Amino acid sequence: MRSRPTLQWEPGPDVSALEPGTTDVTPVADVVAAGDVAVLTGAGISTESGIPDYRGETGSLRTHSPMTYGDFVAGESGRRRYWARSHLGWRTIARAQPNEGHLAVAALQARGYLNGVITQNVDGLHQAAGARDVIELHGNLDRVICLNCRTTSAREVLDHRLRAANPEFEAEVTRINPDGDAELPEQAVRGFRLVDCTVCGGILKPDVVFFGENVPKPRVERCYRLIDDASAMLVLGSSLTVMSGFRFVRHAVKAGKPVLIINQGVTRGDPYAAHRVDLPLGQALTDLTHRL
| Chain centre distance of CA 274 | 23
Q: What is 152-192 written as a DSSP string?
A: EEEHHHHHHHHHHH-TT-------B-TTSPBP--HHHHTTP
Whether pTM > 0.85 for this model: the answer is yes
Q: What is the dihedral of CA 167, 205, 75, 164, to 10 degrees?
A: 10
- Is 281 annotated as belonging to a binding site? yes
Question: Which residues have a Cβ under 8 Å from the Cβ of 150 and sit 6 or more positions away?
Answer: none
Q: Are 202 and 196 in contact (CB under 8 A)?
A: yes
HSE, side-chain direction, 13 A CA sphere, residue 168: 2
What pLDDT is recorded for position 14? Answer: 58
**Owning domain of residue 26:** 13-291
Q: Looking at residue 56, which CATH number applies to its domain?
A: 3.40.50.1220
Percent of the chain as helix, strand, coil, to the nearest 5: 40, 15, 45
- Is 148 annotated as belonging to a binding site? no
Q: Which residues are part of the catalytic machinery?
A: 138
Nearest CA to 73 out of 25, 167, 145 is that of 145
Does 4 reside within a domain? no
Q: Are 262 and 40 in contact (CB under 8 A)?
A: no
- Is 112 annotated as belonging to a binding site? no
Does 151 reside within a domain? yes
What pLDDT is recorded for position 173? Answer: 67
CA angle at residue 124 from 120 to 126, to 5 degrees?
80
Does 63 reside within a domain? yes
- Is 50 annotated as belonging to a binding site? yes
User: What's the DSSP call for residue 181?
Assistant: P
Does 142 reside within a domain? yes
- Is 45 annotated as belonging to a binding site? yes
The CB density around residue 277, as the number of other CB atoms within 10 Å, is: 23
Per-residue pLDDT tens, the chain, 292 aa: give them: 334 444 454 555 555 545 666 889 999 999 999 999 999 999 999 999 988 775 445 444 444 567 899 999 999 999 999 999 999 888 888 889 999 999 999 999 999 999 999 999 999 999 999 999 999 999 999 999 999 999 999 999 999 999 999 998 877 666 777 777 777 777 878 889 999 999 999 999 999 999 889 999 999 999 999 999 999 999 999 999 988 899 999 999 999 999 999 999 899 999 999 999 999 999 999 999 999 8
Does 7 reside within a domain? no
Does 222 reside within a domain? yes
Does 8 reside within a domain? no
- Is 149 annotated as belonging to a binding site? yes
What pLDDT is recorded for position 189? Answer: 86
Quote the number of domains for the chain.
1
Does 143 reside within a domain? yes
